[in-house]
Structure 1
């Protein structure tokens, strides 16, 4: 499949490297694997891809810049009043492949022993539709065994906040989990004039609260402002069973106190934010399980239940970046199973794969999009083939019919999912679409040979 968006543009000194890099970007986008042998059209191209990643004139920062500029170009062609920048960190573990890598240009990951590197990504979503729109921020680094929790790694949050200002929208909101909830980070986003939603990292001290009362206690004693129901998925790691549960919502203004070790003339003594608590009602919790409690902080205005649910929705949208991380690993690209001998080459491949994984995840999230034209993602000739395939994949009942307007991206994704052995029950995921795209690529090859574009 050839997506219609242009590829990231490289500006390397050697034009031949630009050409090979473009071919590798294109192959990642169409073949949904990080295996260079499968990405290449022949043995010669496989060698070119390998040499490109190993070449010292191909800098990691240049690849990151190309991905960032590609996303910004796409966004500038669209119209978004409010964008979310969802950020998180993952680790790429190559311990099982260490006999190939020998630790060259790799460090240790979170367990402080296994070989690998860290990747911090920021993906862009539309605040209203939660549609994934691209990858803006990428930072990669390695850790030495004696660095238990190095302070410089916290800089990733500050770098991402500065990059958020590049987004072409009237308003930008950073969204992340507990790790990025740092007092100095709150100061930074206030100074940059952007918004942020973060899960509270700790039970912070609050100025003006009752004696001994901290953030969590202050939120817990607030009057319930409303409630909602939500289906809770099972989570084996947290020993949580699937259930439909009722949640209560509370919020209030909080003035979080600056940690004493960071109190300076430049840092304010406190910052006024809105605190939001979402707590699962006790009667819905199975015996032996703990209630779900989310405590969020934001510099957005929070006055009504609709405001609270909107902010909660933005936090839940954080799952998009987790889906991208799953795609670069076992679900689609299998990046941790690569056998390149140089860790820096693995990191370069990681940047390019993250870009491709964002597009794959975006396609999954557009499965119900009946307004965006399929021509944004597929060529004219591919749409002709999709039109021919659609009736052959529909069944007799209404449930087995393509429910989306012909020519929309939702209609095209339905066809691709059916090719990937989806039976119209539940919703197709990224693995199903990968299988469908692989089948479509083979069908399109035969279709193109019989129907050349010139005819």
Structure 2
């Protein structure tokens, strides 16, 4: 998938019908399970996180597939209306200092059933979809055990009491955006307590482009403090404390013609100074990376929603495999700056690395500035070659290569790698 930039079985097989049949049989094999594929997501990640502070980003994306009234492909409802598809809930590891992505940590892929469920308040967490936030974080702890510290980061949907009461533990912290106005043990509410706090600092930050918002600069006003949120009275779980003490950070500002940016963040990290509060804001901003991951899965990359597989069980497996491919594409894009020491073997086979070494000779410049500056067989070394194949000129003064350049380079490299693999077959 990485080399061919597609999830279409016919295109993956490149016209080889027997190979296409093999791919289909693999996805249809009952011994091949979604859970086992997801276990494989973290094979390299658990070693790559050693000694680092890891931002563990998790979120949910709805993946829509084309269906008809007569043929729903065994898919459940998503979004509003009559949309059918499945849900992908991954967790990505991100180096808090460098911003590089060691890989996927874990997650879930599932299809909703059509059964009518009891009211949300009448169910235990184990009977709700929201359990994915807690279960994914708990399952991540052994995978991330070698990290020096872990901060689980998520958007507002993960703001519920069980998450705060169960997940934080020693070096494992939580940071999320507030959805609900929490009751505090002091007798007031979280938002009232925030309003009583004076602003302590201002700062201008760069906001990345999103689907619903262009990139812009924002001048932010900062407040921070500490509060103990009270256990909700309607919780059915009996093993939770009466209160959880958290630190909050809030900033608000916006130009007159745009929607105000208003983040109220809760975290288990210590926040005693403006510098520490701004650090919390910076870490939360990195949540954008998982949005980019979903774009690589969908419209800007593998186009997973175009798959024509006819059963939900096969589509679930395909989505799980595509998630691993998407993270490798992202790692190649990130490796262009050479700030990490990951190896090319993370994304390429030994034969493909040999092909890269042969292709590198084409780009040997007359000066040191025109040569590949990265250690041989590193992921940055491979990314430099792929970017050159995609049309990047290699000069430091040029704009860094983006996803489109890498896709073009991978397409060119695929043809070269196929030819290189045939040298021992047809050459005397």
1:450–1:329: structure 2 CA closer, same or farther, 3 Å change rule? same
Query: What is the CA deviation profile of residues 379-419 of structure 1, one whole-angstrom value per residue up to 9, with x for unaligned ones?
Result: 45234234213247x9x9x7xx4684463543542332232
Contact 2:336/2:384 (<8 A) preserved: yes
* Residue 86 (structure 1) aligned to one of 57, 74, 92: 57
Residues 263 and 269, structure 1, Cα contact 8 Å, conserved in 2: no
Gaps of 5+ in 2: 121-126
- Distance in structure 1 (CA, Å) of the matches to 2:298 and 2:237: 43
For the 8 Å contact 2:92–2:101, the answer to whether it is kept is yes
Residue 106 of structure 1 corresponds to which residue in structure 2? 75
Aligned to 1:31, the other structure's residue is in SS state coil
- The RMSD of aligned alpha carbons is 3.1
Q: How does 1:27-46 map to 2 (within 5 A)?
A: 28-40=1-13, 42-46=16-20
| 8 Å CA contact 1:87, 1:321 repeated in 2 | yes
User: Pairwise mapping of residues 7-86 of structure 1 onto structure 2 (< 5 A)?
Assistant: 28-40=1-13, 42-68=16-42, 70-71=43-44, 74-76=45-47, 79-86=50-57
How many correspondences in the alignment? Answer: 409
Would the aligned equivalents of 1:277 and 1:296 in 2 still touch at CA under 8 Å?
A: yes
Q: 1:375 to 1:349 in 2, by over 3 A?
A: closer
Q: Which residue pairs with 2:134 in the alignment?
A: 158
Counterpart of 1:4 in structure 2 is none
Unmatched runs of 5 consecutive residues or more in structure 1: 1-27
Between the aligned partners of 1:263 and 1:145, the Cα distance in structure 2 is 25
Q: Secondary structure at the match of 2:27?
A: helix
Separation (CA, whole Å) in 1 of partners of 2:230 and 2:38: 36
Cα offsets for 1:50-109 (capped at 9, x unmatched): 1111223322222222334x24xx4326632422211000011013x548x922331111
Question: Is residue 92–residue 118 contact of structure 1 (8 Å, CA) maintained in 2?
Answer: yes
Instruction: Determine which of 380, 383, 387 is the counterpart of 1:410.
Output: 380
Deviations 1:144-187 (A, max 9, x none): 45669966111101211211211232322211000011111101
The equivalent of 1:184 in structure 2 is 162
Which residue number corresponds to residue 124 of structure 2? none
Gap change, CA 1:371 and 1:337, over 3 Å in 2: closer
Rounded to whole Å, the distance in 1 between the matches of 2:292 and 2:48 is: 25
1:256 to 210, 229, 248: 229
Query: CA offsets per residue over residues 237-262 of structure 1, 9 Å max, x none?
Result: 3xx55432321222100111222212
TM-score (norm 1): 0.80
1:175, 1:162 → 2: CA distance? 13
Secondary structure (helix, strand or coil) at the match of 2:130 reads helix
The change in CA–CA distance for 1:366 and 1:217 in structure 2 (over 3 A counts) is farther
Match of 1:18 in 2: none
Equivalent of 2:306, from 318, 331, 337? 337
1:222 and 2:197 are equivalent in the alignment: yes
Per-residue displacement from partner, 1:112-144 (whole Å, max 9, x unpaired)?
Answer: 411111111111122222211111212122224
- Alpha-carbon separation, structure 2, partners of 1:345 and 1:265: 39
Relative distance call for 1:241 and 1:137 in structure 2 (3 A) is closer
Partner SS, residue 73 of structure 2: coil
In 2: Cα distance, 1:102 partner to 1:183 partner = 40
Equivalent of residue 334 in structure 2, options 365, 377, 385: 365
1:449–1:59 Cα change, 3 Å: closer
Identify the range of structure 1 (438-447 vs 178-187) with the bigger mean alpha-carbon deviation.
Answer: 438-447
**SS in structure 2 of the partner of residue 245 of structure 1:** strand
Q: TM-score, normalised by structure 2?
A: 0.85
Give the alignment of 1:318-329 within 5 angstroms: 318-329=287-298
Change (3 A) 1:192 1:263: farther
Determine if contact 2:57/2:152 at 8 Å carries over to the other structure: yes
Shift of 1:190: 3.4
Residue of structure 2 aligned with 1:389, choices 362, 366, 369 = 362
Cα pair distance change 1:106/1:439, threshold 3 Å: same
Distance 1:45 1:193 in 2: 47
Bigger mean CA offset, 217-226 vs 248-257? 217-226
- Whole-Å Cα distance in 2 between the matches of residues 242 and 325 of structure 1? 18
- 1:245 corresponds to 2:235: no
| Maintained 8 Å contact 1:374/1:383 | no
**Which structure: greater helix fraction?**
1
The whole-number CA distance in structure 1 between the counterparts of 2:152 and 2:288 is 14
Alpha-carbon distance in 2 for matches of 1:34, 1:236: 23
Summarize the alignment of residues 202-221 of structure 1 with structure 2, pairs less than 5 Å apart.
202-208=180-186, 214-221=189-196
Distance 1:264 1:319, change over 3 A: closer
